[in-house]
Amino acid sequence: MSDWLDSWLITLLFAASMTITWYLGRRFGRHLYPEPGEDPGMKFTDASVALLGLLLAFTFSMSLGRHDQRRLAVVAESNAIGDFYTCASLLKEPKRSQLQVVIREYAQLQLQKWHEPFDAAAEEQAIQKSQRMQAQMTEMVAQAVEGTSIAVPLTNTLNNLTSTYASRVAAYDEGLPWSIVLLLFLSSVVPAFLIGMKQEQTRQVHLAGTFSFIVLVSLVVFVILDLNQPHRGLIHVSGQPLERVLQSLGSG
Confidence of residue 3 (pLDDT cuts 50, 70, 90): very low
Smallest Cα–Cα separation from 105: which of 90, 84, 123?
Answer: 84
Residue 47: count other Cβ atoms within 10 Å of its Cβ.
12
pLDDT bucket at 1, cuts 50 / 70 / 90: very low
- pLDDT of 137-149, one tens digit each? 999 998 887 767 7
- Give the model's pLDDT for residue 72: 94
Domain map of the chain by residue range? 7-30+40-249
Q: What is the mean pLDDT of residues 127-142?
A: 92
Quick one: which H or E segment has residue 21? Answer: helix 7-29
CA–CA separation, 140 vs 162, rounded Å? 14
What CA–CA distances, in Å, run from 34 to 25, 37, 41, 64?
Answer: 15, 9, 11, 43
- pTM here is 0.79
